[in-house]
Amino acid sequence: MINKKNLWFLTLFSLILVLSVYYITMPSELLLTGNGNYIDTNNKTDSDTEPTVSIEESELITALRVAADEELMKELDALKEVLTNTETSVDEKNNAFEKMKTLNINKGEETKLEKKLQEEFQLKTFIKIDGDQIKVVVDSNKHDTTVANNIMRSIQSDFDKKMYITVQFKG
């Protein structure tokens, strides 16, 4: 007699099997393009080429983002090691997990604030959140205190508690 657990197992196993067969039999071009449009590479003409879009960004902003991403990856790797280590206590694992969650939330907030400032002020910015401190680097040669004040007010409006916001203009 088949019980509920065995029935669920067979159902999920069958679903996984069907999906894996589907994945294996998919054309490789579909996997490489990343979008759902299948492109036949055998019959391409010059009119089929897609235009390329180039986005220019300040070298300073790019360098700051790369450095921040590398630092974030190092921290996440260290926290993952704590989580996967069998000798660490449950409290240490919980603290590591909470720290990972906070880092991911901060990264999302940074991206959201950068987009918001891009839309409001048409300025390319780099934002780094560390606890209650927010560092904003603006890619501009003009040092404008009213713009800095407006940036600080705009960022503070997204947070309930008082944040310590610094704005630097570099170009």
pLDDT of residue 50: 59
Q: Which long-range contacts (CB under 8 A, 24 or more apart) does 53-60 make?
A: 57/124, 57/139, 58/124, 58/139, 58/171, 60/126, 60/137, 60/139, 60/170, 60/171
pLDDT of residue 34: 54
Residue 75 pLDDT class (50, 70, 90 cuts): very high
Helix (H) or strand (E) holding 33: helix 28-33
According to CATH, the topology of domain 59-170 is Helix Hairpins (1.10.287)
**Tens of pLDDT, residues 88-133:** 898 998 999 999 999 999 999 999 999 999 999 999 999 999 989 9
Q: What residues form DSSP beta bridges with 166?
A: 135
Q: Where are the domains of the chain?
A: 59-170
Please state whether the predicted TM-score (pTM) of the whole model is above 0.75. no
User: Rounded to whole angstroms, how far apart are CA atoms 156 and 145?
Assistant: 16
Burial class of residue 162 in the structure, from the number of CB atoms within 10 Å of its CB (0-12 exposed, 13-18 middle, 19+ buried): exposed
pLDDT of residue 51: 61
83 within 8 A of 96, measured Cβ to Cβ: yes
